[in-house]
């Protein structure tokens, strides 16, 4: 039985996040209704809650957050034939227009006219989520294996973004990886980097709890950037050659400017984290990029294919996700859970709507 109302975590305005009772979404003839099993709280959710989002116009109606979602299909519209009730799915949140060059190439997340579940349309921090027709048509509901718990499946979204990142680095097995910043996304690069065959995996950060998490997740070397020079440690560790792939997973202009200095000849730097808008003029060592034949790229989000490959790695245990879920809260405790999620000892805090 689907109830008439449900709990939802709603962004009303910057600094005004509420857990409140709202109607269960109605579905159209080509939509599906997901009973949310778990939903992750990520930095984007924290940013929206604190400062809003350029795609959420100020003064617009409250928005249910949550784009790292997994759950069970409990209702489908009369025209939906390919999705059985009871199917367990993870949701790919980015929805493209479907016909621009990026969408046609499969990169819905790069569509200039994108929508995103949990940002431009109501998301999964609720007991139920409407999956719109175009999400179903584009393959955005990914069927999960029966033994992958929902709170683990929520990690597919951020891990898929890391998959996009590491794929853009063209890392070969045995190539070295430096992850700059051991926040949740940096930690996920460590977990996924192992599956990509990166060796050694080196992580730098300025907070000891995060470095401890990186070590626990399998980083071969951690560098405390407050006490040690990253450049010097990289020289020591690589015999002066530098790192094959450097992922800057922290929004630091200094780190972006310095990253080419740490990179090996023909290596790649990926600017994974963004900088605050208007503060993104970064001086880079152009001659080093030229003479060492470096590639500097950026990645953002993930497409359905990145998700599918990530699911393969997670469901076969190639990427261990259990240690990345460091907090589990009922939906009703979303506000304390958001506060917890900001602490450095957490990789991912998830919300789990209670049974009922
Ligand atoms: Zn996210
Ligand atoms: Zn498009």
Which CATH number, 3.30.360.10, 3.40.50.410, 3.90.180.10, 1.10.760.10, labels domain 5-155+321-352?
Answer: 3.90.180.10
How much distance in Å is there from the Cα of 138 to the middle of ligand 1?
A: 20
What's the pTM? 0.96
**pLDDT for position 356:** 44
How much distance in Å is there from the Cα of 306 to the middle of ligand 2?
A: 17
Ligand whose nearest atom lies closest to the CA of 108: 2
Check: CB of residue 116 under 8 Å from CB of residue 97: no
Q: Where are the domains of the chain?
A: 5-155+321-352, 159-298
What is the distance between the terminal CA atoms of the chain, rounded to a whole angstrom?
9
Q: What is the pLDDT of residues 255-287, one digit of tens each?
A: 999 999 999 999 999 999 999 889 999 999 999
Tokens describing residue 80: 């939906």
Ligand whose nearest atom lies closest to the CA of 302: 1
How much distance in Å is there from the Cα of 181 to the middle of ligand 2?
A: 32
Which CATH number, 3.30.70.260, 3.40.50.720, 3.40.50.300, 3.30.300.180, labels domain 159-298?
Answer: 3.40.50.720
Strand partners, 180: 204, 248
Strand partners, 243: 263
How much distance in Å is there from the Cα of 141 to the middle of ligand 1?
A: 16
Tokens describing residue 134: 């175009």
For CA atoms 172, 173, 174, 176, give the dihedral sign: positive
Q: What is the mean pLDDT of residues 35-56?
A: 93
How much distance in Å is there from the Cα of 134 to the middle of ligand 2?
A: 12
- C-alpha 152/C-alpha 165 separation (Å) is 20
User: Within 10 A of 82 (CB to CB), how many other CB atoms are there?
Assistant: 9
Query: What are the Cα distances from residue 191, in Å, to 219, 289, 292?
Result: 8, 28, 29
Mean of the per-residue pLDDT values of the chain: 95
For CA atoms 193, 199, 204, 210, give the dihedral sign: positive
Omega of the bond leading into 46 within 30 degrees of 0 (cis): no
Q: What is the pLDDT of residues 67-99, one digit of tens each?
A: 999 999 999 999 999 999 999 999 999 999 999
How much distance in Å is there from the Cα of 110 to the middle of ligand 2?
A: 7
Check: CB of residue 203 under 8 Å from CB of residue 182: yes
**Of all residues in the chain, what percent carry a pLDDT higher than 90?**
94
Ligand whose nearest atom lies closest to the CA of 115: 2
Check: CB of residue 157 under 8 Å from CB of residue 92: yes
Ligand whose nearest atom lies closest to the CA of 112: 2
How much distance in Å is there from the Cα of 10 to the middle of ligand 2?
A: 27
Judged against a pLDDT cut of 90, whether residue 249 lies above it is answered with yes
């Amino acid at each position: 039985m689907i109830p008439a109302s449900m709990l939802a975590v709603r962004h009303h305005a910057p600094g005004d996040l509420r857990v409140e009772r709202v109607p269960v979404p109605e579905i159209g003839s080509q939509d599906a209704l997901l009973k949310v099993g778990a939903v992750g709280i990520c930095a984007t959710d924290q940013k929206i809650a604190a400062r809003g989002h350029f795609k959420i116009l100020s003064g617009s109606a409250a928005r249910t957050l949550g784009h790292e979602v997994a759950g069970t299909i409990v209702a489908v519209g009369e025209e939906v034939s390919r999705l059985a009730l009871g199917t367990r799915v993870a949701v790919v949140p980015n929805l493209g227009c479907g016909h621009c060059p990026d969408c046609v190439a499969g990169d819905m997340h790069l569509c200039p006219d994108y929508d995103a579940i949990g940002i431009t349309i109501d998301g999964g921090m609720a007991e139920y989520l409407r999956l719109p027709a175009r999400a179903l048509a584009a393959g955005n509901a990914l069927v999960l294996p029966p033994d992958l718990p929902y709170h683990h499946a929520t990690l597919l979204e951020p891990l898929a973004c890391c998959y996009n990142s590491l794929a853009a680095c063209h890392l070969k097995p045995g190539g070295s990886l430096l992850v700059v910043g051991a926040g949740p996304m940096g930690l996920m690069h460590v977990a996924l980097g192992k599956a990509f065959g990166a060796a050694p995996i080196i992580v730098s950060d300025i907070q000891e709890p995060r470095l401890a998490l990186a070590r626990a997740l399998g980083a071969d070397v951690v560098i405390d950037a407050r006490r040690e020079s990253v450049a010097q440690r990289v020289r020591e560790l690589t015999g002066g050659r530098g790192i094959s792939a450097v992922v800057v997973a922290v929004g630091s202009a200094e780190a972006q400017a310095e990253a080419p200095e740490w990179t090996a000849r023909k290596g790649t730097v990926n600017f994974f984290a963004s900088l605050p808008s208007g503060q993104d003029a970064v001086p880079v060592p152009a001659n080093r990029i030229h003479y060492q034949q470096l590639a500097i790229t950026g990645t953002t989000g993930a497409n359905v294919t990145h998700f599918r490959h990530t699911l393969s790695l997670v469901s076969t245990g190639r990427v261990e996700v259990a240690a990345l879920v460091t907090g589990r809260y009922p939906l009703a405790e979303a506000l304390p859970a958001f506060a917890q999620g900001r602490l450095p000892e957490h990789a991912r805090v998830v919300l789990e709507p209670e049974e009922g």
